[in-house]
Homo-oligomer: A and B are copies of this chain.
Amino acid sequence: MTASQAAPQPTPERIFNTLNAYQNTAALKTAIELDIFTKIGEGANQAAAIAAKTGAAERGVRILCDYLTILEFLVKNGNSYALTPESALFLDRRSPANLTSMMGFLGRREELTRHFETLTEAVRKGGCASEDGDNTKPKPGFWVAFARSMAPLMVPAAAFLAELLEARAGRPWKVLDIAAGHGMFGITLARANPRAQIVALDWEPVLEVAQENARAAGLADRYTLRPGSAFETEMGEGYDIVLLTNFLHHFDPETCEKMLRRVHAALRPGGRAVTLEFIPNEDRVSPPIPAAFSLIMLASTDAGDAYTAPELERMFENTGFRNSTLHSVPGMPQRVMVSEKAS
């Protein structure tokens, strides 16, 4: 057999890289903490200059920036580093689209990253290894961190929702934003539709963040709060739209259906439930980000999951909804399902 006929020999590179992948997370966290991307964006492009601007050691900066180049967050020419278009948009703090705050939620040890230290136990058990996997119970610190950290990532999805739901048509809307968090979904609808009234539901300390954001958007008079558990708080009724963003994945299908019955009762006839979710294909291994999201739910919740579109559709059918339609959010890994209450 000649060399050209031989199958390519497997190498251990992927295994080695995966066992060290936690180092990628650490490198990006460190670069954000030291604000390396902003300094480079401002013109410091060699290790010595970046070190001077960040108060770090030149050797440390050189090795970190080389690593960030390998990860494709920077480009290197000679000894000069520059931002990629992606880093300039999302990692330079001067950019209005910067996502650096995301680390405050995705890197949170207490409620998130530490659950991966006990992943083996979670696989054995089939859910979160600790007692913290029940998301019907309050975790206000975590959800305040979510509200403070994740709003920028949701901007494109919120804008897409406003367009999809034809907010600009200006119909009088009563909107319930369940687990509102930062409130950006309801706020974006209200900015696009001057006749929209938003009711935000979440744990009380979380609603303070949503209310701040609503006030900053000049919406204080169209923004009301319902603090408490989404499963127990009186939600009101006659809503045109109920938003369920990044919510259902925390629960098992039975608990999801319990919520959807409440949503159904709160909607007016002809009203719509709008679900934003990580929705994998039915193979559950594509697209990568929505499919991979399942593991976060395994590690950190008792029985949550990234549900497929047919699974979600079934939950909506079981609870009285009809005409569920599925929509991709351009440039984002989430998808949207819109489901109607019969009129």
Contact = CB atoms under 8 A, between A and B. Distances in A.
A73 B14 contact: yes
B119 A26 contact: yes
A30 B119 contact: yes
Contact of A66 (B29, B113, B285): B285
Contact of A291 (B70, B289, B331): B70
Interface stretch (A122-130, A138-146, A162-170): A122-130
Nearest to A102: B19
Nearest to A23: B116
A338 B226 CA distance: 73
Secondary structure type dominating chain A contacts = helix
Given A86-B14, A298-B64, A19 B120 contact: no
Contacts of A66: 284-285, 291, 294-295
Given A57-B125, A123-B34, A72 B14 contact: yes
B25 A20 contact: yes
A34 B16 CA distance: 18
A59 B298 contact: yes
A288 B126 contact: no
Interface stretch (A4-12, A181-189, A237-245): A4-12
Interface string A103-132: 100110000010011011011111100000
A33 interface: yes
Given A17-B289, A331-B11, A298 B63 contact: yes
Nearest to A332: B11
A67 B107 contact: no
Contacts of A106: 16, 19-20
A102 B18 CA distance: 12
Interface centre among A63, A64, A69 (most CB of B within 10 A): A63
A90 B30 contact: no
A217 interface: no
A13 interface: yes
Contacts of A59: 126-127, 298, 303
B295 A67 contact: yes
A296 B66 CA distance: 12
Given A22-B113, A66-B285, A34 B153 contact: no
B18 A60 contact: no
A107 B56 contact: no
A299 B67 CA distance: 12
B298 A60 contact: yes
Nearest to A33: B120
A56 B19 contact: no
Interface centre among A55, A61, A120 (most CB of B within 10 A): A120
7 contacts: A11-B332, A12-B90, A16-B106, A20-B292, A23-B296, A64-B298, A70-B292
